Amino acid sequence: MRRLLLALPFALLPLSLVYAHDDHDHEHGSLGAHEHGVAHLNVALDGNALELEFDSPAMNLVGFEHAATSATDKAKVAAVRAQFETPLALFGLNKAAGCSETDQDLQSPLFGDKPVHDEDGDAHDHEHSDINAHYKLECTTAAQLTRLDLAPLFKAFPATQKIQLQLVGPNGQKGVDLTPTHSAIDF
């Protein structure tokens, strides 16, 4: 399953090329760029296994990107981390699918994680902090998993205005931008 999620960007490469050449919306040209108001979500459904990988600028989620030093900022970071520790409350899945979390990995410099290094071993500049969440779920009745609704996530984090979603599922691959008014996609 991990290989499937890692292969997702390559499988959807033709979609990113279409986005990069879209004359109506140039901000898709760099799908991995740090852009306030925009988050990224990769979803892979393989049999009963579902993986979700979410990446967002911290600004969208906590309202700032600097290290939390005040009690108020620390409380915001803790509250957001607690929300992401319960993914089934943020990512709307059909309860009849019987999905339960088997693994999660939350990372951010705001959570005290060490800086990420690039291929050259250089630490990334952290004036732009991101929050990353990776979840593995097992769904007992995956056939009931027909739709993913991100309305709860948009409601919890109103500064998130767009989620660039890439999905690989039983009906093939899809790439779509979801917004608070268009927040769901079929598998």
In whole angstroms, give the CA distance from residue 98 to residue 140.
5
How far is 100 from 16, CA to CA, in rounded Å? 31
Residue 73 covered by a domain: yes
Q: What is the pLDDT of residues 1-39, one digit of tens each?
A: 555 554 554 444 444 433 333 333 333 333 456 789 999
- What does each C-alpha distance from 121 to 107, 117, 125, 132 come to in angstroms? 19, 5, 13, 20
What one-letter code names the amino acid at 26? H
Give the pLDDT score at 7. Answer: 52
Q: Is the pLDDT of residue 97 over 70?
A: yes
Mean pLDDT of 94-122: 81
Span 39-67, pLDDT tens digits: 999 999 999 999 999 999 999 999 999 99
Q: What is the domain count for the chain? A: 1
User: ∠ CA(60), CA(10), CA(119), 5° rounding?
Assistant: 70
High-pLDDT (> 90) share of the chain, %: 71
| 8 Å CB contact between 168 and 43 | yes
Q: Which two tokens stand for residue 109?
A: 């410099």
Q: What is the per-residue pLDDT for 33? A: 61
Contact 83, 91 (CB under 8 A): no
- Asked if residue 171 belongs to a domain, the reply is yes
Predicted confidence at residue 65, as pLDDT, reads 92
Provide φ and ψ at 94, rounded to 5°.
Answer: -60, 120
Residue 28 within a domain: no
Share of the chain above pLDDT 70, in %: 75
29 located within any domain = no
Position 3 scores a pLDDT of 53
In a domain, 31, yes or no: no
Residue type, 148: L
Q: What is the mean pLDDT of residues 59-76?
A: 95
Residue 118 located in a structural domain: no
User: What is the per-residue pLDDT for 35?
Assistant: 86
- Reading the block at residue 129, the tokens are 């902090």
- pLDDT tier for residue 112 given thresholds of 50, 70 and 90: confident
Run of H or E residues at 101: strand 99-107
Name the residue range of residue 160's domain.
2-22+36-113+127-186
**What is the structure's pLDDT at 116?**
52
Q: Is the pTM of this model over 0.85?
A: no
Q: What is the pLDDT of residues 114-162, one digit of tens each?
A: 655 444 444 444 467 999 999 999 999 999 999 999 999 999 999 999 9
- Tokens standing for residue 85: 């520790």
Q: What are the two backbone dihedrals, phi and then psi, of residue 19, each rounded to the nearest 5 degrees?
A: -60, -40
